[in-house]
Chains A and B, each alone.
Chain A
Amino acid sequence: MNAPERAGLLAPPVLKGLLAVIVFVVLPGTLLTIGGGYLFQIATTALIFVILAASLNLVTGTTGLLSLGHAGFYGIGAYTAALLSTQLGLPFLVTLPLAGLSAGIIGVLVALPTMRLVSIYFAVATLGIGEMIYVTLLNWTDFTHGPMGIRGIPSIELFGWRASSSLDEYLVVATTAVISLWALSRLTHSYYGNALRAVREDDQCANAMGLNVVRLKIEAFGISCFFAGIAGALLAHTGKFISPDQFRFSESINILAMVVVGGLGSLPGTVIGVLLLIILPEALRGAGDFRMIAVGSIMFLSILLLPKGLLGEASALDLLRRQFGEAWKSVPGSNVGWR
């Protein structure tokens, strides 16, 4: 009940330790004995998506801003890391934070004007911004190599140690993911997180209680984009190759689906959502294109049967309904769509 003490599933130290043992010992150990570089790749991808989905959860789940362009900021991070390392030869320890910062700064710049937009109009704006980033990556060929993408991105290197195997890469990504989750969970399970939740529940009321709503929204969006950028840098350095196709609108929807299935506002839920939507398509690979129908059905059923997702704080449908309602609410003297 008391905000800083209540911290969901991750709170008790025992549970935290247990999770750490699973992530750093049990899972890689099992994967090693089954002996699959391919399995490590899936695990690494899953962890990158954990960072991505957890960062989107901060802005959409906790703060209630529907963002449909998250893949764009993921792309900015990936291209920043790829270009800095291939063109300037900067090491991973420099490209990682710079990728986060560039995505975060562009996120704040984008947020400054768009935060005046009301609810659903903001969602449409983020959709457009995500597509703008994609088209820029695609067509600015001198800088980004266009549809050819960027090849030969150096692998992760820390103080002279090179992550040469999939296991090494997995461990670096896992460490980054754990630190990111720690930061995001500190942010949401605090009075600051309460302020963000108040913005989701009723931003006008939060404003009347003395919260600077516009500032909170911009902060949340910037922090969220920062972590999306971090995820992008990890993708660039572990995949060695990136192309604009990886940062399209469909990827934004994919990330959003993970948050919705897991439950708005819940970090453990988000992690489970990621695992479901990453592992299931892989497990159903034998079923061919049928697996896409299966994934779609899971989303549909989870929204229908679990309105709050698996562990969510608020109903996704309610949020959407409210966003539409607010967009067409006629308040005398106010403008349609923005304030």
Chain B
Amino acid sequence: MSTEPILEIRDLTRRFQGLVAVNAVSARIEAHKLIGLIGPNGAGKTTLFNLISGFITPSDGDILFEGRSLVGLKPHQIARLGIGRTFQNLRTLPNMTVFDNVSIGALAAFGHSPWQALFRGQGAVSRRINELTHEVLDQVGLSGQAGELAANLSYGRRKYLEIARALATRPKLLILDEPAAGLNDTETAKLAEFITGLVAQGMTILLVEHDMPLVMGICDRVIVLASGAKIADADPETVQRDPAVLESYLGTRDA
């Protein structure tokens, strides 16, 4: 169980003026595990995500990815180190095709420059981007709609497109921000199967989700945030029986 962590968060704190959005949170994410991150609205989940992916800088504390500190790095540098992410509100690129959307992820993995575009249009780099994009499209089952504009895809399909684009960056750690939001039960069940499939293939996933049955059903371990602080970090069964967790979700008896 106690393998070397791929991501380690140490006393991470972020203050916005008076508000402490994330308060001295420490956590370890081991490789090839599926870790759930839950908490009531405003618990600091998204802030924690944005801290890991570099969109916000921490006020205090450290984030180590494979032993290397991420503090001070730009989002694209963090993505290139191997952290892929999706967004809570879908951020597929609407006026671009499904293929082009996914190729964006692959681009970063293989590099790109104006010179390449001008003089080596069909060169080795383009071929590799092309191959990787097709491979990922196959993996998520979007090959048939590769030429479609992303805006014309159904909501459920766009969720997979978003995941595909993150997978095309060849991440070692994949952070999914509420992938099941807005999906019906059948779609959620399929998504759960897809996510566990990724982990079985060796991916490490940090999953932020509101859908409790989904998180409790598939995660190896669950971290619970409330008011910016970590209140529980254990296997799903233990977390479900934890009084502090029950209190934060349901309120205290006399309140």
Please indicate the chain A residues that have their CB under 8 angstroms from the CB of B55 in the complex.
204, 208
Q: Which of A191, A207, A213 is close to B117, meaning CB atoms less than 8 Å apart?
A: A191
Chain A residues with CB below 8 A from B118, complex form? 183, 186-187
In the complex, chain B residues whose CB is within 8 Å of the CB of A191: 103, 107, 112, 117, 125-126, 129
Interface range on chain A (Cβ under 8 Å from partner)? 20 to 34
**Proximity bits, A1-31, B CB within 8 Å = 1, else 0:** 1111000000000000000000000000000
Known interface pairs A197-B100, A210-B79; A223-B114 also in contact (CB < 8 Å): yes
- Mark interface residues in A210-249 (1 if CB within 8 Å of B CB, else 0): 1111000001000100000000000000000000000000
| B69: Cβ under 8 A from any A Cβ | no
B91–A205 CB distance below 8 A: yes
Contacts of B19 in A (CB 8 A): 332
A41 within 8 A of B: no
Q: Smallest CB–CB gap between A18 and chain B, Å? A: 22
Task: Verify if A175 is at the interface (C-beta below 8 Å from B).
Answer: no
Counting contact residues on chain B (CB < 8 A from A), the size range is 35 or more
Q: Mark A181-211, 1 if CB is under 8 A from B, else 0.
A: 0010011001111110110011011111111
- The chain B residue with its CB closest to the CB of A190 is B117
Instruction: Please determine whether B87 and A2 come into contact, CB atoms closer than 8 angstroms.
Output: no
CB neighbours (8 Å) of A195 from chain B are: 104, 107, 112
Interfacial residues of chain A within 228-279, with CB under 8 A of chain B in the complex: none
User: Could you say which residues of chain B place their CB within 8 Å of the CB of A187?
Assistant: 114, 117-118
Interface secondary structure of A, over-half rule: helix
User: In the complex, which residues of chain A have a beta carbon less than 8 angstroms from the beta carbon of B107?
Assistant: 191, 194-195, 209-211
Q: Please tell me if the beta carbons of B122 and A209 are within 8 angstroms of each other in the complex.
A: no
CB distance from A225 to the nearest CB of B (A): 13
Closest to B122 in A: A4
Which residues of A does B touch, CB under 8 Å?
1-4, 183, 186-187, 190-195, 197-198, 201-202, 204-213, 219, 223, 313-314, 332-333
Q: A208-B85, A211-B76 are in contact. List 17 more A-B contacts (CB 8 A).
A: A1-B146, A1-B147, A4-B121, A187-B114, A187-B118, A190-B116, A192-B116, A193-B117, A195-B107, A202-B93, A204-B55, A204-B75, A207-B79, A210-B76, A211-B107, A314-B95, A333-B14
Some 6 contacts from A to B, beta carbons below 8 A apart, are: A4-B126, A187-B117, A191-B125, A195-B104, A208-B85, A209-B165
